[in-house]
Structure 1
Amino acid sequence: MFDYETLKLIWWGLIGFLFIGFAITDGMDMGVGGLLPFVAKKDAESRVVINTVGAHWDGNQVWLITAGASLFAAWPLVYATAFSGFYFAMMLTLFSLFLRPLAFDYRSKIESVQWRSNWDKALFVGSMVPPLVFGVAFGNLLQGVPFGFDELMRVTYTGSFFGLFTPFTLLTGVVCVAMVLMHGSTWLVMRTDEDIAQRSVNIGRIVAIVLAITFALAGVLVWQSIDGYVVTSAVDTMGQSQPTSKEVIIVAGAWLHNFERYPLLWLIPVSGVILPLLVALLLNNKSNSVVPKVFAFIASSITIACVILTAGIAMFPFVMPSSSQPNHSLLMWDTVSSEGTLSLMLAVVVFFVPIILAYTLWCYKKMWRTVTLDEIEQNNHSAY
């Protein structure tokens, strides 16, 4: 149906789509979990906040599983190298993610203030650690990861866990945390009322402005001080995986080359700066109309897509550049699975993804309502 080169491009786009889907859906409920200690001042208010995402959080997390499985099947070398290089960071993320289902399921099992408070703290940690780690990981990809392959294609990572944290990667971590907090606040403004919604507005405006500033600052640093990577040899876009058979050099400002080559692409990072400011303007709990609230959520979702797309376009065709052995950098052209594997996976995706999207939208529609404090106080036996 498609030739090998086209399949590689399609899967680059599909994996990006899955990560954007994860960031928008699961990022929303992670943002809600991160806001929990700040927008809920008593147990009943905490239950209101949790009930806005209680029916959806586990389904949202499937996006991460799907993205990870697709990465494993389509880009096996990237999957293996990333888990080798970011092993402790990945384990930290997984253990923090373990806290979320436990907090959701066990929080309301015992009517104890201390018990519930501790699970609220666990939910906060489980919601904030993953976006911080993912943001730091993206920053490391832009800086380059110290890895290389031997003659048997065994990967060796020469960095350290604490070496992952630099001023730039911490900045990208802040970008990611601010992004999910903004997204969570737009969700709470739509799904709650009165005091919780107003606190969400106040915090949402602040983190939206922080996101615009930090994302712009990260862009300036990429332009001024973060060296990019350029392939100087011919690349066989139709060939099988051969990640060590190319020549790569490190060049200042190289991550901007794709934007300079196609100026229209500048609209994406510019939107990533402007849209959070629009979210800050649209966030309003005093209006009786739901329209500005919905538009704030949509603008927040598009912001997330723009931030991720900016990084993906800047690095294209690199997926995981190597700072220690640039010639061993992983490209989307030379790290993919076989043509047959990509074709089979594409057929599965084309069939199942529309079904999943339709079912997800149906669930959100059927369970849509404003969760009020009166409803929660009158229903002490709800799941959350």
Structure 2
Amino acid sequence: MILHELMQFDTLRIIWWALLGFLLIGFALTDGFDMGVGVLLPFIGKNDVERRIAINTIGPVWEGNQVWFILGGGTIFAAWPPLYAVSFSGFYLAMFLALAALILRPVAFKYRSKRESKIWRSSWDWALFVGSLVPALVFGIAIGNVLQGVPFHLTDDLRAIYEGSFLGLLNPFALSVGLTSVAMVVMHGAAWLGVKAEGVIAQRAAQCGEKAALVVIALYALNGLWLAFMVEGFALVDPHVPNGPSNPLLSEVTQTSSWLLAYAERPWIAIAPVLGFAGAIMANRGLKARREISTLLASKLSIIGMISSVGLTIFPFVLPSNIDPKSSLSIWDSSSSHLTLFVMLISTAIFMPLILCYTAWVYKVLWGKVTEDDITKPGSTHY
């Protein structure tokens, strides 16, 4: 009976929608604190040793954390081909900018301490700052544009035509969401440094993190009000055809007065923004009180709530079109085939637990604070 239910096309679509959200949240929870530390680096490290300590709190794990980003992109490609086609072509320059910054980060990690020159190391420190700031900002801007709808339409043969521009992505609402994303990773990076660093580095990080958490709360509230009163939402006119074909042009879509009508239809989804606000408030108080583990957990809770609120608010859409609502992509009409989703689910059921167990083991082995003695002792292999 359970296998029969899992074999249902719509059930697989919901599972893969949830898995995509899980992977994006996993990326934000792990690589998010990496980016946060990178953004904080020029402000918490007043000399080379202090900056090296900050870098080494993320040095052993940043590569593994980026696996979540690769898995998320792979899931979009394999499970939601139209979403991949429209977003990666329409957001091409933005994606290129983010990927270039992500490529800059590992180069900065690897080359930063190869020479003793202050100019050399300072340059790579700023490269690490840019390589952390830009992806966080770009990903937030992308989410802001998704919430407003993207200017694309589908031809009769389902070919996606994007009619926007790079500068069009940099609209006020999207930039506000982008800044929220940056503040979120700074808050998360500060919480991570509270766990992994000590002394003045942890103190400076906490001071920055406190302010970042307040910015998160303010911008998240502002974005919610903006979304409620100034951004139109989308809705399916008729109930979708159960287990129907993946053809967006068969669905009737209309624009509504606000995305927040979803909270009247499904009141339970309000738990997501509540967690977003509550986590940020607790993170702010934890950073102020210099608590460690509980603050990091609160920061994670806030990230889970904020990202979940986006997916739950626009459900069942994954990419609405603001110039041709009929072309909007929903989970019911833009997935891969039934067989593809099922075979990938079996593979995921095998390999995802292995990835999670290995990740947990790595963090367990590398747990503990990074100290000055760790990186200055003779024979040290730290960054």
TM-score with structure 2 setting the length: 0.96
What are the ranges of 5 or more consecutive residues in structure 1 without an aligned counterpart? 287-291
The amino acid of 1:201's aligned partner reads: A
What whole-Å deviation, never above 9, does each CA across 1:96-122 have from its counterpart, x for those lacking one?
111011001111111111111111111
Question: Identity rate of aligned residues, in percent?
Answer: 46
Please list the CA deviations of residues 298-341 of structure 1 after superposition, one character each: whole Å capped at 9, or x if unmatched. 11011111111100011000100001111000001100011111
- Kept in 1: contact 2:209–2:284 (CA 8 A): yes
**Residues in 2 aligned to 1:243 and 1:285: alpha-carbon distance in whole angstroms:** 51
Residue 4 in structure 1 maps to residue 9 in structure 2: yes
Superposed, 1:1-384 pairs within 5 Å as: 1=3, 2=6, 3-253=8-258, 255-284=259-288, 292-379=291-378, 381-384=380-383
Secondary structure of the residue aligned to 1:239 is: coil
Matched residue of 1:244: which SS? helix
Shift of 1:284: 4.7
Counterpart CA distance in 1 for 2:139 and 2:235 is 24
1:217 is paired with a residue of what secondary structure? Answer: helix
User: Contact between 2:36 and 2:185, CA under 8 Å: does it hold in 1?
Assistant: yes
User: Residues 204-241 of structure 1, C-alpha deviation per residue, up to 9 Å, x if partnerless?
Assistant: 00000100110011001111111101111342230121
Q: Which amino acid is the alignment partner of residue 330 of structure 1?
A: L
CA separation of 1:379 and 1:228: change in aligned 2, threshold 3 A: farther
Q: CA deviation at 1:193?
A: 0.7
1:258-306 C-alpha deviation (Å, 9 max, x unpaired): 22122222122122122211111111576xxxxx310110110111111
Query: Across the two proteins, how many residue pairs are aligned to each other?
Result: 378
- Superposition RMSD in Å: 1.2
The 3-state SS of whatever aligns with 1:110 is coil
Moved over 3 A (4+): none
Task: Give yes or no for contact 2:246–2:333 (8 Å, CA) kept in 1.
Answer: yes
Q: Does the 8 A contact of 1:189 with 1:285 survive in 2?
A: no
Q: Is the 8 A contact 1:15 1:71 kept in 2?
A: yes
C-alpha distance in structure 1 between counterparts of 2:217 and 2:34, whole Å = 21
- Aligned equivalents of 1:144 and 1:264: distance in 2? 24
Q: SS of the residue aligned with 1:187? A: helix
Q: Distance in 1 between matches of 2:275 and 2:195?
A: 23
Q: Deviations over 1:1-32 (max 9, x none)?
A: 21111101100100000000001001111111
Q: Tell me the amino acid that sits aligned with residue 50 of structure 1.
A: I
Whether the aligned pair in 1 keeps the contact of 2:279 and 2:300 (CA below 8 Å) is no
Separation of aligned partners in 1, 2:379 and 2:212: 33
More displaced 10-residue stretch of structure 1: 107-116 or 17-26: 107-116
Measure the CA separation in 1 of the matches of 2:288 and 2:123: 31
Q: Which letter maps to 1:336? A: S
Residue 186 of structure 1 contacts residue 300 of structure 1 at CA under 8 Å; is this kept in 2?
Answer: yes
Offset at residue 186 of structure 1 (A): 0.3
Answer with 148-157 or 128-137: which moved more: 148-157
Question: Does the CA contact (< 8 Å) of 1:22 and 1:61 recur in 2?
Answer: yes
Instruction: State the one-letter code of the partner of 2:243.
Output: M
Q: Does the CA contact (< 8 Å) of 1:198 and 1:285 recur in 2?
A: no
Q: Deviations over 1:147-180 (max 9, x none)?
A: 0111222111111100001111111001100110
- Structure 2 letter corresponding to 1:258: A
> Following the alignment from structure 1 to structure 2, what is the Cα–Cα distance between the partners of residues 316 and 262?
10
Q: 1:374 offset after TM fit, Å?
A: 3.0
CA contact (8 A) 2:24 2:72 kept: yes
Instruction: Tell whether the 8 Å contact from 1:105 to 1:383 is kept in structure 2 after alignment.
Output: no
Aligned partner of 1:69: which letter?
A: G
Q: Which residue of 2 aligns with 1:289?
A: none
Distance 2:173 2:192 in 1: 29
Do the aligned partners of 1:145 and 1:320 also contact (CA within 8 Å) in 2? yes
How far has the Cα of 1:382 moved from its partner? 2.2
Could you tell me which amino acid in structure 2 is paired with residue 80 of structure 1?
A
8 Å contact kept, 1:175–1:215: yes
TM-score, length basis structure 1: 0.96
Task: State whether residues 374 and 380 of structure 2, in contact with CA within 8 Å, keep that contact through their aligned partners in structure 1.
Answer: no
What residue ranges of structure 2 are gaps of 5+ in the alignment?
none
Q: 1:377 to 1:357 in 2, by over 3 A?
A: same
Q: Separation in 1 of the partners of 2:358 and 2:374? A: 27
Amino acid in structure 1 at the alignment position of 2:298: A
Separation (CA, whole Å) in 2 of partners of 1:332 and 1:267:
22
Report the AA paired with residue 297 of structure 1.
L
Assess if the C-alpha contact under 8 Å between 1:318 and 1:329 holds in 2. Answer: yes
Q: How many Å separate the matches in 1 of 2:261 and 2:348?
A: 32
